[in-house]
Amino acid sequence: MRILLLTHAFNSLTQRLFVALQQDKHEVSIEFDINDETAQEAIDLFQPDLIVAPYLKRAIPDSIWQNHICLIVHPGIVGDRGPSSLDWAILNKEKTWGVTVLQANAEMDAGDIWASVEFEMRDATKASIYRNEVTTAAVLAVQQAISCFQDTTFTPTPLKQLLAKGKLRPLMAQNVRRINWQRDDTETVLRKIRCADGFPGVRDELFGREVLIYDVHAAEGLRGRAGEVIAKSGLALCKATVDGAVWIGHVKDKAHQHPFKLPATVLFAKQCKDLYEVPAHEGYQEIWYEEHQGVGYLHFPFYNGAMSTKQCQDLLAAYQDATKQNTKVIVLMGGADFWSNGIHLNMIEAAKSPADESWANINAMNDLAEAVIRTTSHIVISAMQGNAGAGGVFLARAADEVWAHEHVILNPHYKDMGNLYGSEYWTYLLPKYCGQDHARHITQARLPMGVAEAMELGLLDAVIRGDKSGFIEAVKSKASALAKQDNIHAALQQKARQREQDEAIKPLSAYREEELQRMKKNFYGFDPSYHVARYNFVYKVCKSRTPLTLAAHRRVDQNTLRSVA
């Protein structure tokens, strides 16, 4: 079937749907919902059998839904309507929630129901539930709806005929989200912030400045006067509640010269200089190590998967410590939602010299990748619970093996960041693990890929299936089996020999130097593309047209025009 994904942006859910529908052998094209005319043009060019709207910020124009079946993916249970579905579900402590696929009509979210899938709720941020439970349910629900569409006897059910639990709810305004520090207990504070994280955040006050806050965690064992900032730890500030305290990791100050998400202690560096400092392992912990049956596990759930210079350096130090332990296998676990998304573009944008900070950050990333590549004392595994993008994918590939959960999406390319050349030793790693042809394909395609394609191309070595909650246990049993293998010493010797041979053919330093020469041009050269693309990414500037890599229908049109000419 020809399916057009009409979407506000190519976000995580849309990417998963794109990958899943292509895998189901549908012909899929994407159009960003920019205006009525452009959407109509896309339909005229692509002539889709079906239009699916996974993520829209406005209603589908009458002229489109009246002439085509348009299926809307709504992140709510049947009957739920409105733009803040998940926010309300989290705030109202719903035990289960769902995704509904409904047909667009004149009334927003009130069309006939084609499919719905429910899931259990989890104590997590809105963004995390969206990226995991909602996305998985959405793929299932869309696949069900497509089967229904292919079944000529199927008719969707009008909402009015269903005894639906859901109801119309308004946009959740900041007055609902506002924290009353004199009254709200820690659990309520966490819930209010989680239902607004990653967007829009909760409006609050820190050091007399109005900010939006994100990335909160209970601060165990800390007490103070409710509403006061009482401590700092790593990137986070600690604010007391009536019955405890919370760590606030990330903050946005819209009036600041850098009005985007930044770590709290970076934005308030001066104000928190003399604050009581809690060590990371007792406070806001971004990196931790654990050992289990002869395997070392390094966790690094950096917010949004972005890795600043300091975070790379801290992770390198933790990794070096891990290699000194009496183990034979190290697993790089990343975080639950992201394994890594590469260098920290917000921190770079906020730096005095973004070019210098980009340079420092990529070098810190490379130091880390190099340490992983050079490790001969351990077998190193990258275990992806969540997605990885850009340099994060290549950092993962620096390990001997890469394992991923079946729902992981990889974006192994830098080109959308202003034709950034990229580093992290990809020019060594991709030919080594994927071969030259695949390496070219991976870096040129500019498209997200699922685990099946990543396995085929050599970016992954194993896929771990099943519920995500069982992922860590599955990784642990696989890794400890590896550590117990009789031939582990032989495998390590072989690894050391291979490294020596590779080094003799071309030293790692040469790969690094060549990559960094190209990166230097990206950062300091005449072409400002990288700086412009980074600005647009950090400031979330909406795309004014769909990139041709996504809009297959527009590529067809160009070819036709050329052949006609």
Residue (100 or 522) nearer to ligand COA, CB: 522
Q: Residue 14: CB partners within 8 Å, gap ≥ 6?
A: 5, 7, 30, 54, 55
Point out which span in 63-71, 159-167, 339-347, 499-507 binds ligand COA (CB under 6 A). Answer: 339-347
Residue (343 or 398) nearer to ligand COA, CB: 343
Residue (315 or 492) nearer to ligand COA, CB: 315
CB of 301 to ligand COA, least distance (A): 13
Residue from 345, 492, 519, 552 touching ligand COA (CB under 6 A): that is 345
CA dihedral 524, 525, 526, 532 (to 10 degrees): -60
CB of 430 to ligand COA, least distance (A): 15
Site string for ligand COA, 294-323 (x = CB under 6 A): ----------xxx-----------------
Distance CA 86, CA 125 (A): 10
Residue (245 or 262) nearer to ligand COA, CB: 262
Residue from 4, 5, 6, 12 touching ligand COA (CB under 6 A): that is 12
Question: Of 460, 426, 455, whose CA–CA distance to 443 is shortest?
Answer: 426
CB of 523 to ligand COA, least distance (A): 12
* CA 36 to the chain's CA centroid: 29
CB of 200 to ligand COA, least distance (A): 10
Residue 481: in which H helix or E strand, if any?
A: helix 471-484
Residue (75 or 156) nearer to ligand COA, CB: 75
Point out which span in 281-289, 383-391, 471-479, 518-526 binds ligand COA (CB under 6 A). Answer: 383-391
Q: Can residue 342 be called a binding residue for ligand COA (CB under 6 A)?
A: yes
Residue (373 or 417) nearer to ligand COA, CB: 417
Residue from 247, 297, 403, 414 touching ligand COA (CB under 6 A): that is 414
Residue (11 or 480) nearer to ligand COA, CB: 11
Q: Which of helix, strand or coil describes residue 387?
A: strand
Question: Of 306, 302, 304, whose CA–CA distance to 348 is shortest?
Answer: 306
Q: 420, 516 in Cβ contact below 8 A?
A: no
Residue (265 or 387) nearer to ligand COA, CB: 387
Q: Can residue 128 be called a binding residue for ligand COA (CB under 6 A)?
A: no
CB of 362 to ligand COA, least distance (A): 7
Distances, alpha carbon 10 to alpha carbons 31, 139, 501, 526, 555, in Å: 9, 15, 42, 30, 18
Residue (81 or 177) nearer to ligand COA, CB: 177
* Amino acid sitting at position 366: N
Residues 257-296 that bind ligand COA (CB under 6 A): 261
Residue (131 or 239) nearer to ligand COA, CB: 131
Q: Structure tokens of 272?
A: 């928190």
Q: Can residue 11 be called a binding residue for ligand COA (CB under 6 A)?
A: yes
Residue (98 or 391) nearer to ligand COA, CB: 391
Q: Structure tokens of 343?
A: 């260098």
DSSP for residue 307 = B
Task: Name the packing angle between helices 12-23 and 135-150 (round to 10°).
Answer: 40
Residue (414 or 523) nearer to ligand COA, CB: 414
CB of 425 to ligand COA, least distance (A): 13
- Strands of 462-464's sheet in order across: 288-292, 295-299, 329-334, 379-384, 401-405, 462-464
- DSSP letter string, 95-144: SEEEEEEEE--SSTT-S-EEEEEEEE--SS-HHHHIIIIIHHHHHHHHHH
Q: Can residue 417 be called a binding residue for ligand COA (CB under 6 A)?
A: yes
Q: Residue 340: CB partners within 8 Å, gap ≥ 6?
A: 300, 302, 305, 307, 334, 388, 389, 391, 392, 393, 395, 396
* Amino acid sitting at position 383: A
Point out which span in 45-53, 79-87, 89-97, 386-394 binds ligand COA (CB under 6 A). Answer: 386-394
CB of 296 to ligand COA, least distance (A): 26
Q: Structure tokens of 419?
A: 């034709």
* CA 478 to the chain's CA centroid: 25
Q: Can residue 512 be called a binding residue for ligand COA (CB under 6 A)?
A: no
The number of residues that bind ligand COA (CB under 6 A) is: 23
Q: Can residue 529 be called a binding residue for ligand COA (CB under 6 A)?
A: no
Q: Structure tokens of 273?
A: 């200089």
Task: Name the phi and psi angles at 407, rounded to 5.
Answer: -95, 5
Q: Can residue 384 be called a binding residue for ligand COA (CB under 6 A)?
A: no
DSSP for residue 338 = E
Residue from 112, 118, 198, 242 touching ligand COA (CB under 6 A): that is 198
Residue from 335, 391, 412, 418 touching ligand COA (CB under 6 A): that is 391
Residue from 115, 390, 449, 550 touching ligand COA (CB under 6 A): that is 390
Q: Can residue 248 be called a binding residue for ligand COA (CB under 6 A)?
A: no
CB of 198 to ligand COA, least distance (A): 3
Which phi-psi region, left, alpha or beta, contains residue 234 (left: φ > 0; alpha: ψ -120 to 50)? left
Distance CA 86, CA 91 (A): 8
* Amino acid sitting at position 491: A
Q: Can residue 341 be called a binding residue for ligand COA (CB under 6 A)?
A: yes
Query: Which residues contact ligand COA (rule: CB under 6 A)?
Result: 11-12, 198-199, 261, 304-306, 341-346, 387, 389-391, 411, 414, 416-417, 420
